[in-house]
Structure 1
Amino acid sequence: MTAYDHAPMLGLPRVATGISHFLAEGPTWDPIRGRILWVDIMDGFVYSGRFAHGGAIVIDEKVQFPDTAGAVAVSQAGEWLVAGTERLYTRGLDGEITAGPDLIGVDGRRFNDGKPDPASRFVVGTKGPGDEQLIQVGADGTVTVLDDDLTLSNGLGWTKDGRTFYTVDTLSRRIHVRDYDPATGETGERRVFLKITDGYPDGMTIDSDDHLWVALWGEGCVIRISPDGNVVGRVDVPAPHTSCPVFAGPDLDTLVITTATEGMTPEGLAAHPLSGRLFTVRTGHRGIHPNLWAGTPTALSLEETA
């Protein structure tokens, strides 16, 4: 029994991919190409897939980046921005990968989840030895630290009007909220929106009714949370390490859920053989059109990498 068993089920997920990932994360809808993107963080891969019959996802492309791949975003022109270990990488329309400068400078720390904000800045957090950061990278390359006291910066999302910003701090089991100016990127005081009691909050997305959908690592589910902080629905997944959901597809009405095998024992994998796969489900809800990244910042000295 968990604290969320009372919440109504919001659909039965289907297995969408045939391969199992160690740490699949960060699914995002690419509206430029009509594809779903996701990462396998520790292997440094970004995947691109298309929807097929019955909710399946057919992988079209698998791209290797130089180190880890914590998150992927799409620019207005169709470029990719990928959060590597210490730096941001871009992949141009010609497939060329370039590397930005070191933005972390701390051994054992890497970039984790990140997304563009309503004005196309990139907001990304870190995972590492403690006192983790959440930073905002402007279109001109300017870096602003939003938080520097997190346990593990994770999922993030903005409401439909861009004026409320939610973020996840996984190991403290807290979801934070603050006011956000979509024009300037200035933020209000951070407040605790909800403390999770079962499982660990990981990746998240927000639907067109400004409800949060949060993956609970260790609980094998995604919960839907109302703006007043009540759990009003859930999707159970046959994989305990649910990592991130996103609404995808032309109508943003298919929920894609990533999962992982990281930290699972042989016994756990035998009991949950679908761990590490992606799942899709129609929940009766729709997402918000994804924010797009501004494109390669001219102020960053990007260096070509092999």
Structure 2
Amino acid sequence: MAEGPIWDKPRRRLLWVDIPSGTLFEGALDGDRIRVTRTHTFDGTLGAVVPAEDGSLLVAAQEELIVLRPDGTREIGPRLVVPGEGRRLNDGAVDPAGRFLVGTMLIDGESEHERLLRVEYDGLVTVLDDDLTLSNGLAWSPDGHRLYSTDTLRRRIYVRNYDPADGAVGERRVHLDLGDDYPDGITTDAEEHLWVAVWGAGEVRRYAPDGTLVDRRAVPAPNVSSVAFAGDDLDRLVITTATVALTEQQQRDHPESGHLFVVPVEVPGLPVTPWAQ
């Protein structure tokens, strides 16, 4: 299950994870294809990865954070999920000031008590939400003062005011309600249009700031998990997909499921803020 793509622009590398296998991938863009250049394996699941300025990687493992240094050494960070609860860390992202945000999900069954967490500079953890069904994609407006967050099983994307300087957040409100569809990973472009990976629909959608659907890009795989801008000019969308939850017949009908796809776009994305370790 490919998930969580992120473009590390200083090193011109794409990062993403395979959640069930606990594998972190590094890759290079080669035209409209992605070439794997390195892999790292962890115990348990992986939910997300983000780069630091020095090239270190912060990895959301199953219950805790792990720092992978450029020389390959690993450092165990804070545990964010209580052992034995049957939860794991899911999608995560760095805010405009360098703090790491990550959500949780129940591994089996349904929940209305999943969390969106923020790890502060001193390592303490702030709970932003504790009433989610499945915390998923995160994105910010170009000025950094609006946070978009996904609650997949409620089929909603929320927005709230956000102050990167002091971390203050405003009241959460519904930005998009996808009706019968399931939003997963998200990203914003330079015009603050929100690109949404729609699980089960085989596409990503572009929504204007007022919520109007203005574009959609289909891929030959139904379970689209996330989306990110990549390339020197941030003018290509990388779309991740998954085979999980597909029947054998669906996998035969969609043999490219689980692949990554690269799609050119006219409006570029936003640079990724490095994690402030």
Same fold (TM over 0.5): yes
Q: 1:44 corresponds to which residue?
A: 22
Aligned 1:119-268 pairs, distance under 5 A:
119-128=97-106, 130=111, 131-268=113-250
TM-score, length basis structure 2: 0.96
Which 5+ residue runs of structure 2 have no aligned equivalent? Answer: none
Amino acid at match of 2:255: P
Q: 1:35 corresponds to which residue?
A: 13
Which 5+ residue runs of structure 1 have no aligned equivalent? Answer: 1-22, 296-306
Q: Give a deviation string over 1:131-176, Cα, whole Å, max 9, x none.
A: 1000000121010000000000000100110000000000000110
Do the aligned residues in 2 keep the contact of 1:199 with 1:217 (CA within 8 Å)?
Answer: yes
Q: 1:16 corresponds to which residue?
A: none
CA apart distance, 1:199: 2.1
TM-score, length basis structure 1: 0.87
Amino acid at match of 2:44: D
Q: Secondary structure at the match of 1:32?
A: helix
- Superposition RMSD on alpha carbons, in Å? 0.9
* CA–CA distance in structure 2, aligned partners of residues 199 and 261 of structure 1: 18
Q: 1:105 corresponds to which residue?
A: 82
Amino acid at match of 2:66: Y
Q: 2:34 corresponds to which residue?
A: 57
Do the aligned residues in 2 keep the contact of 1:198 with 1:219 (CA within 8 Å)?
Answer: no
Q: Which runs of 4+ in 1 moved over 3 A?
A: none
CA apart distance, 1:101: 3.3
Q: 1:291 corresponds to which residue?
A: 273
Q: Secondary structure at the match of 2:166?
A: coil
Identity of aligned residues (%): 51
CA apart distance, 1:32: 2.6
Q: Which moved more, 1:94-103 or 1:183-192?
A: 94-103
Do the aligned residues in 2 keep the contact of 1:256 with 1:279 (CA within 8 Å)?
Answer: yes
Of the two structures, which has the highest relative contact order with CA contacts closer than 8 Å and spacing of 6 or more? Answer: 1
Do the aligned residues in 2 keep the contact of 1:89 with 1:98 (CA within 8 Å)?
Answer: yes
Q: 1:115 corresponds to which residue?
A: 93
Q: Give a deviation string over 1:97-116, Cα, whole Å, max 9, x none.
A: 22123221152100000001
CA apart distance, 1:76: 1.3
* CA–CA distance in structure 1, aligned partners of residues 217 and 267 of structure 2: 12
Report which of the two has the higher share of strand. 2
